[in-house]
Amino acid sequence: MKQSVKLIAGNWKMNGLGASLDEVASLRRSLEEQPAACRVALCPPATLVERMAAAVKGSVIEVGGQDCRAETHGAFTGGVSAGMLKDAGATLVIVGHSERRQEFGESDRLVAAKAEAAVGAGLAPIVCVGETLEQREAGRAVEVVRDQVMNSLPRAVLAGDFAVAYEPVWAIGTGLTPTLDQIEEVHRAVRAAMIERLGLGSAAAPILYGGSVKPDNARDILAVPEVGGALVGGASLKASDFLPIIRAA
């Protein structure tokens, strides 16, 4: 992913039925009337990946998964592989979202294996990292995020497109955001860790900020040095919220 072009990616989480594709049609129309200055992606639930990919075909909007298994196939009831997402029309996949790290106990090692599987299937992984409130209050935010970057990024990502998303756990879905200085501090630390881990070949991969990005704070956040885009949850569900975030990039 070219660093100069920001990536605005929406994460619908476990929201969205077929009727929600009306929002995507509306977003598509707006972006056809006035093209975006950034890359735009939406990550719907797995049930909608194929239909959304059909709905955005021929437009600039990319479609991604929200998670994938590290394995390519097998006896993993309920699992979705990276290859299945690709087959359904996805070009990206989020891995290591904090909701999965917390609820399903996903380790850095597993996240790295998922990122590797994504690359193997031809998807661009968006690898999520971020500290809890307790870790931030203990003054450990930079250290925790650095460790996650060092251990969640396989060398395989260098073969293609990838991004890292810094999402402080306490900012997700809460309406709280770090200060712009705090965002800059962590993003600089993420970049340094990426270069230490993967070399200068990783310098062009964008580092997205995620956590309560809204139309009214997007412009300031996206102007912070080393912020290469945003991963947006709640505000990506409605075109009327997501569009101003895209326009801010």
The span from the CA of 25 to the CA of 77, in Å, is 33
Q: How far apart are CA 237 and CA 44, in angstroms?
A: 9
Cα–Cα separations (whole angstroms), residue 246 to 29, 94, 228:
14, 19, 12
Among 125, 154, 210, 228, indicate the residue that binds ligand PEP (CB under 6 A): 210
* H or E element, residue 9: strand 7-11
Contact flag: residue 178 with ligand PEP (CB under 6 A)? no
SS3 65: strand
Assess 239 for contact with ligand PEP (CB under 6 A). Answer: no
Q: In sequence order, which residues have a C-beta less than 8 Å from that of residue 138 and are 6 or more positions away? A: none
137 is catalytic: no
DSSP-assigned letters across all residues of 81-134: BHHHHHHHT-SEEEES-HHHHHHS---HHHHHHHHHHHHHHT-EEEEEE---HH
Active site residue: 23, 62, 116, 167, which one? 167
Residues 92-131 that bind ligand PEP (CB under 6 A): none
Distance in Å, CB of 82 to ligand PEP, minimum: 19
Q: How far is the CB of 142 from ligand PEP (least distance, A)?
A: 20
Told to judge if 97 belongs to the known catalytic residues of this protein, a careful annotator would answer yes
Figure out which of the listed residues 73, 159, 173, 240 binds ligand PEP, where binding follows CB under 6 A: 173
Closest contact distance (angstroms) between CB of 76 and ligand PEP is 24
Supply 131's token pair: 């500290």
Binds ligand PEP (CB under 6 A): choice among 62, 167, 226, 241: 167
**Segment near ligand PEP (CB under 6 A), from 37-45, 118-126, 138-146, 227-235?**
227-235
Q: Catalytic residue among 62, 97, 106, 131, which?
A: 97
Catalytic positions:
97, 167
Binding site for ligand PEP (CB under 6 A): 11, 167, 172-173, 210-213, 231-235
